[in-house]
Amino acid sequence: MCKVSVLMSVFNENEKELDEAVFSIINQTFKDFEFIIVNDNPKNTDLAKKLDDFKILDKRIVIIKNEKNIGLAMSINKASQLAKGKYIARMDADDISVPERLQWQKEYLEKCNVDLIGGITQVIDEEEKVIYSIKKIPANPDKIKKCIRYNQVVPHPTWFGRKEMFEHLNGYRKIPLCEDYDFTLRALLKGYRVSNLNKVVLQYRMTSQSISRNNLFEQFLYAKYITCSYKKGKIADEMKRCSSRTEFCE
């Protein structure tokens, strides 16, 4: 059994970005991991060949091919069910992990006896130029419980957590645009300890396609809905539909 299972879903990333993401994991200073990559674009034969080449290159790579496109959250759920590691780390197919990421996060999680952590992201553009880097994020578990009432403060692309927690929570739920936020809120309500490592662990690629402007308002509505339930000490119902007229906090 390996120590860490790194989970990544691929859909339509360009070849250069995918190469950088994959090699940033292959070249980690921490070596005891498996790298599960889900092909969520099964009709793309070039992508399938590319992923097969990765598998030949490094035996730690496991490829899962979906029968149809099911989206990022459900693809990661699928991968987590097959994960053999004690810990699970998230990775996106257009980001770049720093070489020490897995080592740093594993050591921090074990030292602080927490269940899920994130880390600082350095935001880069399509040309890999640094746009900005957050200086500090909340690390104290009690402070995170308070801050998360207003916004997600555990950056999703940087997650590193205990597999047993993912199993207990049954992974992500169908809360459109807010699956990671919903997962974090449920983890806290179930008593899991959440923290952040205040080191840059990942370069997050911001592109014109990163977030659709058409989805921003809907994302806000879903976030409002699940945080209102959290403030009441409750887990929001799954698949609740939102609209501009929805009354969130009754």
Per-residue pLDDT tens over the stretch 79-122: 999 999 999 999 999 999 999 999 999 999 999 999 999 999 99
What is the distance between the alpha carbons of residues 129 and 127, in angstroms, rounded to a whole number? 6
Tokens in use for 30? 């921490």
Question: Helices marked H in the chain — which ranges?
Answer: 15-26, 45-57, 72-82, 101-112, 141-147, 163-168, 179-189, 216-231
Local confidence band at 243 (pLDDT 50, 70, 90 cut-offs): very low
Nearest to 115 by CA among 211, 4, 193, 217: 193
- What is the chain's mean pLDDT, rounded? 92
Pair type for strands 61-65 and 116-124: unpaired
Query: Tell me, what's the pLDDT at 128?
Result: 83
Query: Tell me, what's the pLDDT at 250?
Result: 43
pTM of the model: 0.92
What confidence tens digit (pLDDT) does each residue in 156-213 have?
999 999 999 999 999 999 998 899 999 999 999 999 999 999 999 999 998 766 554 4
Local confidence band at 214 (pLDDT 50, 70, 90 cut-offs): low
Residue 47 pLDDT greater than 60, yes or no: yes
What is the distance between the alpha carbons of residues 15 and 28, in angstroms, rounded to a whole number? 20
What beta strand segments (E) does the chain contain? 4-10, 33-39, 61-65, 87-90, 96-97, 116-124, 130-133, 160-162, 194-205
Query: Tell me, what's the pLDDT at 210?
Result: 59
- The amino acid at 153: V
Residue 151's contacts (CB-CB under 8 Å, 6 or more residues apart) are 223
Nearest to 55 by CA among 76, 30, 38: 38
